[in-house]
Amino acid sequence: MFSKIKDEDVRNSDIRLKLVFAGLAGKKDLIVNAIRGLDYLGEDAKKCKLEIIGPTRKEIEKSLGKDNYILEKLQNVISILGFVSRSVALNYLSKADFSIILRPDQRFANAGFPTKLVESMSVGVPVICNLTGDISQYVHDGKNGLIVLNCSPIEFSIVLKKAITLSEEEKKVMSINAKKYSEKYFYYHQWTKCIQEFMNNVNVRY
């Protein structure tokens, strides 16, 4: 029989590591592995607060299967918000220390680029993620995010242990770096000159 993490253990919620996941409880976004990873932390899980945006509790329970007891065990650690408006989701995201992106190393994940990563970094929130596609070009471990070796629960828990030990100053620096990388690589203003030059060349040619 598992023991719940009690309310009194998490009263100082303002000092907990604030995590946000926004997406679906499907094969592309492995939020269930993040939940299992939290459970692996044992008592250290109370040092975290995970807010899940998108999927319902029922959907997550189904994806967790026999591990769905974790939701009750960590009921004071995990909040399932379900579907919310984009503005509300961005509000939750902007207040987080990290957002979570865990994806399997498979063709469908490697073929695309997660827009959630762009949204997170654009509001100065570093990402905890495993490397798929060309994410490694934009997320650097310990600088503007934290890299998980793979998308497994155990590897995620290892990175969470590292995240918990970060000082407020270290998290602040990572937040600043995430914002800077976003402005350098993802803001469309950075590419207007290149696009204009391309269009000028097209006009000259034709």
Report the pLDDT value the prediction gives residue 31, as an integer from 0 to 100.
94
CATH number at residue 119: 3.40.50.2000
> What's this model's pTM, rounded to 2 decimal places?
0.82
Domain-located, residue 24:
yes
Residue 18 phi, psi dihedral angles, 5° rounding: -95, 120
In a domain, 2, yes or no: no
- What pLDDT, in 10s, does the model give residues 64-122? 999 999 999 999 999 999 999 999 999 999 999 999 999 987 565 555 567 899 999 99
Encode 114-130: b = buried (16+ Cβ within 10 Å), e = exposed: bebbebbbbbbbbbbbb
Q: What is the pLDDT of residue 9?
A: 46
Domain range for 34 is: 7-205
Whole-angstrom distance, CA of residue 200 vs CA of residue 66: 60
Quick one: pLDDT band at residue 194, thresholds 50, 70, 90?
Answer: very low
Would you say residue 1 lies in a domain? no
Asked if the structure places residue 146 within a domain, the reply is: yes
Residue 185 lies in a domain: yes
| Domain total of the chain | 1
